[in-house]
């Protein structure tokens, strides 16, 4: 986001007069979520000053600070005490979806004995994003983050990438049981010198935990650059409505 985030963290950039993070909070509220913990980092005070305790938005908001930004695998750990023994939704602060996505996720998670739920979107470019592969039970079998050409060849040989079959990309919104933290605690640094949430998810699958997949239908926007932000601003749709 270059100059746009010199003074503000990206989740506080405005889309149609509201911070991205406010759209997320209000969307989750429509799914019945009332208790939030926002994990902050750089310029955390701007978030806390805006949202306060959440009462003006009709929710309860606590805060936990990630002192060192060392990857997605450790980002949720500051909220561990807040979460306790509860299941929880985990979302990045720059992804916009229709509010019904959250309620559909909760409904799917309650349909089985799952340790987690991972949302996915369909795509065609197999070199970008985290590729997810599922079994006949719709549970995650393998997750490959931004596969190399060599990895893509291996996936084809294994029959995981097949002509005419959809490719599923990690969409960055999850539901987890607290068992996730047993796996984030054991993470090693990735080749990018970061702790990766996807490595923890892969380890959960390896040890027999069921992570069910859920396709996001309708809008999914990763607000990753000024161009995406400008497109959202140009639209007149209500970001809290599916219509």
Cα gap 233→13, rounded to integer Å: 11
- Domain map (residue ranges) of the chain: 2-234
CA angle 197, 176, 186 (to 5 degrees): 40
pLDDT per residue over 183-224, tens digit each? 999 999 988 899 999 999 999 999 999 999 999 988 899 888
pLDDT per residue over 217-238, tens digit each? 888 998 888 888 888 877 766 6
7: enclosing H helix or E strand: none
- Residue 174 neighbours by CB under 8 Å, 6+ apart: 89, 90, 91, 116, 117, 118, 119
pLDDT at 2: 66
- Determine whether domain 2-234 maps to CATH 3.90.550.10: yes
Closest CA to 91 of 215, 101, 229: 101
Cα gap 29→124, rounded to integer Å: 33
Closest CA to 173 of 210, 201, 148, 146: 201
First to last CA, the chain: 29
> Which range has highest mean pLDDT (29-33, 41-45, 157-161)?
29-33
Residue 47's pLDDT band, with cuts at 50, 70 and 90, is very high
pLDDT at 160: 82
pLDDT at 191: 85
Please indicate whether residue 159 or residue 5 has the higher confidence score (pLDDT): 159
**Residue 49 CB-density burial (10 A; 0-12 exposed, 13-18 middle, 19+ buried):** exposed
Q: Where are the beta strands (DSSP E) in the chain?
A: 14-15, 18-19, 35-40, 60-65, 88-91, 95-97, 116-123, 130-134, 140-145, 167-176, 211-215, 220-222
Q: Does residue 76 contact residue 184 with C-beta atoms inside 8 Å?
A: yes
Cα gap 129→136, rounded to integer Å: 23
Token pair recorded at residue 206: 């390896």
Token pair recorded at residue 8: 């503000």
Cα gap 45→52, rounded to integer Å: 10
Coil, strand or helix at 121: strand
In this prediction the pTM is 0.92
CA angle 169, 91, 80 (to 5 degrees): 125
Q: HSE of 243 in the Cβ direction (CA atoms, 13 Å)?
A: 1
Please indicate whether residue 161 or residue 34 has the higher confidence score (pLDDT): 34
- Helix 20-30 with 44-51: angle, nearest 10 deg: 50
Cα gap 39→91, rounded to integer Å: 10
Q: Does residue 72 contact residue 199 with C-beta atoms inside 8 Å?
A: no
């Amino acid at each position: 986001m270059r100059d746009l985030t010199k003074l503000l963290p990206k989740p506080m950039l405005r889309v149609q007069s509201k911070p991205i993070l406010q759209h997320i909070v209000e969307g989750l509220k429509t799914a019945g979520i009332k208790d939030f913990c926002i994990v902050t980092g750089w310029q955390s005070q701007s978030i806390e000053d805006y949202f306060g305790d959440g009462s003006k938005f009709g929710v309860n908001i606590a805060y936990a600070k990630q002192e060192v930004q060392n990857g997605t695998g450790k980002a949720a750990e500051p909220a561990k005490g807040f979460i306790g023994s509860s299941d929880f939704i985990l979302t990045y602060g720059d992804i916009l979806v229709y509010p019904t996505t959250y309620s559909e996720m909760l409904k799917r998670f309650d349909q089985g004995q799952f340790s987690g739920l991972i949302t996915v979107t369909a795509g065609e470019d197999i070199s970008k994003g985290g590729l997810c592969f599922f079994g006949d039970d719709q549970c995650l079998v393998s997750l490959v983050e931004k596969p190399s050409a060599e990895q893509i060849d291996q996936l084809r040989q294994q029959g995981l990438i097949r002509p005419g079959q959809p490719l599923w990309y990690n969409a960055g919104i999850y539901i987890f049981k607290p068992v996730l933290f047993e796996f984030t605690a054991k993470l090693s640094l990735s080749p990018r010198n970061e702790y990766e949430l996807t490595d923890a998810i892969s380890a959960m699958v390896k040890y027999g935990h069921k992570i069910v997949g859920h396709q996001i239908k309708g809008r999914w926007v990763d607000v990753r650059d000024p161009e995406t932000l400008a497109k959202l601003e140009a639209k007149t749709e209500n970001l809290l409505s599916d219509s």
